[in-house]
Structure 1
Amino acid sequence: MPDDDFSLFTSEMRGVKRIQVDQADTGKVRPDRQQIQQRRQNAMVRTTETKVDGLSDQFVIDVGAEDELYWARDGVQDSQLRKLKAGQVPFEGSLDLHGMSVEKARETLWDFFAEAARYEVRCVRVTHGKAARLDGKRPMIKSHVNTWLRQHPQVLGFTSCQPKHGGTGAVYVLLKRTMMDGRDED
């Protein structure tokens, strides 16, 4: 019988070629479940850390308590910023961020600008304070506000206020206005 099995096997194997590669092809590569789980966790962590509003804390420009703040987006006229700095552009809204955490200040500032846009406000005052931190470093809220205002798409420029409006503890902020239909700019 063994001869019959062997002859049967060789007849069935006629035309079959020997495989030259000694590795098995198991088909599609299986995903690494641990790696996928790690990526999911990282994605969840990033979404909780990054705000949708785009105001980042990745690089905060530290400023001193008495430092005067001054910044303008490209294309904003110097004369407009000089008027702003001199207090000649009346502010139509004011926000005080004293005593807030950085996160609360960011949310409050974002909401304040959204409301200013709804009412087409041209200039606002943001009071950030200038208190030094307990660890002796530069003022935290002032430094963050200085950074956030540069990132906010609605901000055209800002400058420290006149002493009667808060001096280096507050800024006048010049905002873009989206003109409503049928209304001309002043």
Structure 2
Amino acid sequence: MSKNRPRQSETQRPVAGARASGLADLSKLRDALKQDAAERERERIAAAKAAREAAADADLFRREVGDVAPIAAAARAAHGRTPPEALPLQTRRDEQAVLSEAISDEFDPEVLLDTDESLFYCRPGISHEVVRKLRRGHWIVQAQLDLHGMRRDEAREALADFIRETVKRGLRCVRVIHGKGLGSVGKEPILKGKVRAWLVQKAEVIAFCQARPHDGGAGAVLVLLQPGSARPGTTRPDHGPASAP
């Protein structure tokens, strides 16, 4: 039985080792706490020193400057009116001039218009097949302008503006409704002839023809445009050839 019983010194060795390790850890922790406390104390002392120096500088500045008084500013006049909104007058005048010069009432389109069963036009250099396709509805009507009830000047400006905007949007085929003149004095279709004369003068117009019955018949024209063919609002006095669409 004495052989199996452990010796007392052997059982106490692990306990003594753990106790020594714990004491070492406590010593390290105590040292770390002391260092942390010392660091905080140094920071506190430095902050207090900086505050004293700042207060001393401020006190010195006040002594050197002495008593000061604010400068009396002159009273400012209060504006009682709101300035008018800026208007682009020159831009409007330029646009109006472009519209006025773009198409003329004195232009005679008869030398450029062809006739068969109905009046039509295509720019020189453009095949008549383009007009045949336009009549057959090859191009879908993408926008339309109704000139009913407008005076001649109003209709001219409205048409010029319509052509310019549709070209900017990249549209190819549009319809212009000018009416049959049944409500005009003497039943004469005044706008019908004017619209065709104006269209011939527009460089953006490739071709046009009388609309089909369900599209307005003799009271409207289908117009084929070439987007980007000319600067909007410019005339084409020579009516030179252009490439087919």
Q: TM-score range by the shorter chain?
A: 0.5 to 0.7
1:57 is aligned to: 105
1:42 is aligned to: none
Structure 2 counterpart of 1:57, one-letter code: D
Output one character per residue of 1:115-148: Cα deviation in whole Å (capped at 9) or x when no partner.
11111111100000011431x2631111100110
2:201 is aligned to: 151
Query: Would you say the 8 A contact 2:204–2:228 is kept in 1?
Result: no
2-structure distance, mates of 1:76, 1:102: 30
1:169 is aligned to: 219
Residue of structure 2 aligned with 1:78, choices 107, 120, 128: 128
TM superposition shift of 1:76: 1.2
The structure whose residues are more often helix, as a share, is: 2
Task: Give every structure 1 segment of 4 or more consecutive aligned residues whose post-TM-superposition deviation is greater than 2 Å.
Answer: 48-54, 59-62
2:137 is aligned to: 87
TM superposition shift of 1:74: 0.5
2:160 is aligned to: 110
- Normalised by the size of structure 1, how large is the TM-score? 0.62
Kindly indicate whether structure 1 or structure 2 has the higher relative contact order, using CA contacts under 8 Å at least 6 residues apart.
1
1:101 is aligned to: 151
Query: Would you say the 8 A contact 1:60–1:147 is kept in 2?
Result: yes
RMSD of aligned Cα (Å): 2.8
Output one character per residue of 1:84-120: Cα deviation in whole Å (capped at 9) or x when no partner.
0122211111110011000010111111111111111
1:36 is aligned to: none
* Gap regions ≥5 residues in structure 1: 1-47, 180-185
Query: Would you say the 8 A contact 2:146–2:176 is kept in 1?
Result: yes
- Normalised by the size of structure 2, how large is the TM-score? 0.48
Query: Would you say the 8 A contact 1:61–1:144 is kept in 2?
Result: no
Is residue 2:180 matched to residue 1:130?
A: yes
The structure with the larger Rg is 2
1-structure distance, mates of 2:98, 2:120: 27
Query: Would you say the 8 A contact 2:109–2:200 is kept in 1?
Result: no
The change in CA–CA distance for 1:144 and 1:49 in structure 2 (over 3 A counts) is farther
Equivalent residues, number: 129
* Gap regions ≥5 residues in structure 2: 1-95, 111-116, 230-244
The change in CA–CA distance for 1:95 and 1:59 in structure 2 (over 3 A counts) is same
Identity %: 39
TM superposition shift of 1:51: 5.3
1-structure distance, mates of 2:224, 2:211: 12
